[in-house]
Structure 1
Amino acid sequence: MSSTAHIAAIGTAVPAQDIHAAFIEWARARLPDGRAVRIFDRMAGRAAIAHRWSVLPLGAQGGSPVDPDGFYAKSVLPGTAERMRLYAQAAPELSIAAIEALRAQVALEGITHLVVASCTGFIAPGIDQIIAARIGLAPSVERLLVGFMGCYAAVAALRSARHIVRSDADARVLVVCVELSTLHLQDNPALEPLLAMLQFGDGAAAALVTAEPAGFALDHPFATTLPDSAALIRWDITDQGFAMHLSGEVPARIAAGLSDPVFAAAATGGRPRLEIDGWAVHAGGRSILDAVEHSLGLPADALDASRAVLSEYGNMSSATLMFVLARMLDGPPVTNGVALAFGPGLAAEGFGFRSVA
């Protein structure tokens, strides 16, 4: 008989350097004219982001990555190889910081499976192997690396952990999401890519998923895709890092999709909206959260956890949803919750969850 899987706890970590203000100054200087600057300033002011954190080192004089002595100081930005070398060093370190934050809440002995999600870097041996070795996991631990799925990869990682626990009630699954989006700054003077880059920061989260009744019980997962939307969110691997394409059409397409009862039912796992008392929505941007809130007719405070994460950290790709769930674990009990994330496809993926008494 299948077991119910539970998120016992979630630990989170971000780097020490806040790069949000420095990026805004850098981006404004690259815009071609005053009109573009005014639009950028208006959108930056409406973004509802106060901080974004980066693993990039301080410059020799203590400045930000875009200062004259920083990582992005040269007229030609670093190549992909240099960015991946930094990923190989910083991604495991940030992941382990999140794992230690998790360890402060729950015991992590006896881990049987490790699931790692990341779309902002590649290395072999994989980041999963590096993390496993550094935290002393047994060589027999089964590993799964979820790569390049983007913002909804946390859903895929937690869904996989749920499947593992439901097939083996003794499984203890460590789930890690780590993203270093600031490694992929692009020197593109166009307004849309600069606004896309304005959203992203670095972060890591770690969760323990077991059959033991604690935290959030994980209910049925769900997934769906908006038709004719594949080009709206895209990562292109270039000689100078990964170039993010995030179309300004995304919020409107999400809003239109969620206004369709068939798509809305698929994107919420078929749960009646009036019965849902906990919404963990990936904080992909203020306009995306607004689209979800307005299209589904949610109360004004329904997405407070998502908006708080967006303000404090920006969009950390796959790690973001875990940050929202971590905040909700510390909040009021949830009887019938929905976790929802959007990403390349344009796909919507999620799962139901509920607090364990």
Structure 2
Amino acid sequence: MASADFVTPYINAIGTAVPSHDIHAAFIGWARERLPIAQRKLFDRMAARAAIGHRWSVLPEDAGSPVGDTGFYADTPHPGTAARMSLYAQAAPELALSAIERLRDQVPIDDATHLVVASCTGFVAPGIDQIIARQLSLSPAIERTLIGFMGCYAAVAALRTARHIVRSDPAARVLVVTVELSTLHLQAVDEIEPLLAMLQFGDGAAAAMVSAERRGLAIGQPFATTLAKSDRLIRWDITDAGFAMHLSGEVPGRIAAALADPVLVDAITAGQDATSIDGWAVHAGGRSILDAVEHGLSLDADALDDSRAVLVDNGNMSSATLMFVLARVLARSDVRRGVALAFGPGLAAEGFAFGPSA
């Protein structure tokens, strides 16, 4: 067998899953009523501009809206972190397993040698990696890695980890899972900026098989950078009432400014002209972020269509979002040169080049 230095890892297939409870409209109604009347028109305008049609939640449908009279967030104060983590421990593995079953429809998973799981919206021990492995009856000797609290670019970290594994062991078959339950962390705030930040997020899970089999998308060179003096712009703060998301309105502007740096652009595009890349998989962190990437890299108006479609259908599902975009790219047969790119806490940007199997 050839040296591992010459092995190319591939994303062979991706399965995705969202819950069945669409909570987007209910949240908008709840949020606007918390604001002073003078701010509601601005909120309505920003909510419409977000270009999100649906966001899905694991919170039970039989209780109606999560913010309704019988919903999870009906009482004041809202449930504490313990109650939210109890729900996470049950619902996160279940949603992850739904995505894995959709992956299983495309490729075998029982022979997985490694399991890499990324999640930042909950904690449980034994971890969801162990829960997933047990539910799937995977070998107890499977090597597990849990990537926690990295936020939206954790999918890159998970796939990069899988790439390193396959390059070091060409026989490896790495099951990569991302699962996020953002709707477990509603905060009872009355300010427009955090309400607009919460309006972005939904629940979702994705699963991929990464191996040396020449099938799917070849994972190329990864890249990563952290923008200076930006560490307060995207944060998760753990509180007694769940995880409080802080997403500054400055983020799109900082991304656009960073993309004016030719050194960073060269790292993202591997020195290629950005317009020569025909497969862009950009984390759908919000419409303004996608606009910043499109304008910052001078891309065609349709270059980020896959990302925008995921945003419309699901909102921002943190680490799972990029996997949903990659699944759309993988379903196409016309991509010759691609780039995956995600932003998250730090403010950091991470990604990798990808291409077709042939």
Match for residue 42 of structure 2?
39
Match for residue 242 of structure 1?
243
Q: How far apart in 1 are the matches of 2:273 and 2:173?
A: 32
1:280–1:337 CA contact under 8 A, matched in 2: yes
Match for residue 55 of structure 2?
52
Percent pairwise identity:
71
The 1:48–1:259 alpha-carbon spacing in structure 2 relative to 1, beyond 3 Å, is same
Match for residue 105 of structure 1?
106
Matched, 1:310 2:304: no
Q: How far apart in 1 are the matches of 2:187 and 2:229?
A: 27
Q: How far apart in 2 are the matches of 1:120 and 1:201?
A: 11
Instruction: State the Cα distance separating 1:356 from its structure 2 match.
Output: 1.3
Q: How far apart in 2 are the matches of 1:83 and 1:143?
A: 25
Taking the TM superposition and a 5 Å limit, the aligned residue runs for 1:112-261 are 112-261=113-262
Instruction: State the Cα distance separating 1:269 from its structure 2 match.
Output: 4.1
Instruction: State the Cα distance separating 1:331 from its structure 2 match.
Output: 1.5
AA matched with 2:225: T
The 1:194–1:208 alpha-carbon spacing in structure 2 relative to 1, beyond 3 Å, is same
State the Cα deviation string for residues 239-296 of structure 1 (Å, max 9, x = none).
Answer: 0000000000000110111122123223444433132111000000000000000110
Matched, 1:21 2:25: yes
1:224–1:266 CA contact under 8 A, matched in 2: no
Structure 1 residue matching 2:14: 3-state secondary structure: strand
AA matched with 1:100: E
Match for residue 75 of structure 2?
74
Q: How far apart in 1 are the matches of 2:266 and 2:343?
A: 15
Q: How far apart in 1 are the matches of 2:327 and 2:139?
A: 27
AA matched with 1:120: T
Matching residue within 12, 18, 22 for 2:16:
12
AA matched with 1:326: A
Q: How far apart in 1 are the matches of 2:70 and 2:94?
A: 24
Task: Give the TM-score normalised by the residue count of structure 2.
Answer: 0.97
Structure 2 residue matching 1:36: 3-state secondary structure: helix
Task: Give the TM-score normalised by the residue count of structure 1.
Answer: 0.98
Instruction: State the Cα distance separating 1:122 from its structure 2 match.
Output: 0.2
2:268–2:339 CA contact under 8 A, matched in 1: no
Q: CA RMSD in A?
A: 0.9
State the Cα deviation string for residues 112-149 of structure 1 (Å, max 9, x = none).
Answer: 00000000000000010000000110000000000000
Structure 2 residue matching 1:156: 3-state secondary structure: helix
Q: How many residues align?
A: 354
Task: Name structure 2 gaps, 5 residues minimum.
Answer: none
Q: How far apart in 2 are the matches of 1:173 and 1:52?
A: 29
1:267–1:348 CA contact under 8 A, matched in 2: no
AA matched with 1:67: G
Q: How far apart in 1 are the matches of 2:186 and 2:266?
A: 37
Match for residue 86 of structure 2?
85
The 1:347–1:268 alpha-carbon spacing in structure 2 relative to 1, beyond 3 Å, is farther
AA matched with 1:87: Y
State the Cα deviation string for residues 19-68 of structure 1 (Å, max 9, x = none).
Answer: 0000000000111x2231111111001000000000001254xx111110
1:268–1:350 CA contact under 8 A, matched in 2: no
Instruction: State the Cα distance separating 1:225 from its structure 2 match.
Output: 1.2
Structure 1 residue matching 2:152: 3-state secondary structure: helix
Q: How far apart in 1 are the matches of 2:28 and 2:309?
A: 20
AA matched with 1:56: L
Q: How far apart in 1 are the matches of 2:269 and 2:87?
A: 38
